[in-house]
Amino acid sequence: MARPEKNRRVSKPPKMRGYKPFGIPKCKLEVVQLTMEEYESIRLVNYEMLQQKEAAVLMNISRPTLTRIYNKALKNITKAFVEGKAIVIDGGNYEFKKEWHRCKKCFKLVEDKRSHKKCIKNNENSFEEFIQLNN
Ligand SMILES: [Zn+2]
């Protein structure tokens, strides 16, 4: 039996839930899943321009594990890009450093629900307007 994987640390959720290509009818659209830790590996290595060993430390995993996740991420993104598939960023084995929510009205990422007055100003207690993103 496989060893249970420990949670990989992800600093924050992506702004979007995924990507979809245009020019492909919705009924023909297939989906490729990108896990949250795959997204984080791409963000750290290709966007923040960190060395893989530095990204591994931030995600609290070994360098070989980071490389495996990163290669899988590239493979999934490439598959979606070349084959015209949508990407859904979801799932995986991860934890955020702190609590994150998404507003159901404007889809903005929100750290502190109380500070997000724009969508809850008429009802101060309408915290059900938020989706809890931590797993
Ligand atoms: Zn909002």
Q: What CATH number does residue 22 fall under?
A: 1.10.10
32 and 80 assigned to the same domain? yes
Structural domain tally of the chain? Answer: 2
94 CA from centroid of ligand 1 (Å) = 25
Residue 73 to residue 76: CA distance in whole angstroms: 5
Q: Give CA separation, 77 vs 1, 51, 86, 91, 113, in Å.
A: 29, 20, 9, 15, 32
The label of the residue with tokens 């830790």 reads 37
* Å from CA of 104 to ligand 1 middle: 7
Range of the domain at 103: 96-135
CA 127–ligand 1 middle distance (angstroms): 11
Q: Is the residue at 43 inside a domain?
A: yes
119 and 89 in a common domain:
no
pLDDT of residue 127: 63
DSSP conformational letter for 5: P
Q: What is the distance in A from the centroid of ligand 1 to the CA of 100?
A: 13
8 domain-assigned: no
Confirm whether 10 is domain-assigned: no
pLDDT tens track, the chain, 135 positions: 566 667 899 998 998 889 999 999 989 999 999 999 999 999 999 999 999 999 999 999 999 999 999 999 999 999 999 999 999 999 999 999 888 888 888 888 888 888 887 787 665 556 677 888 886
Residue 73: its pLDDT value, please?
A: 98
Whether residue 83 is contained in a domain is answered as yes
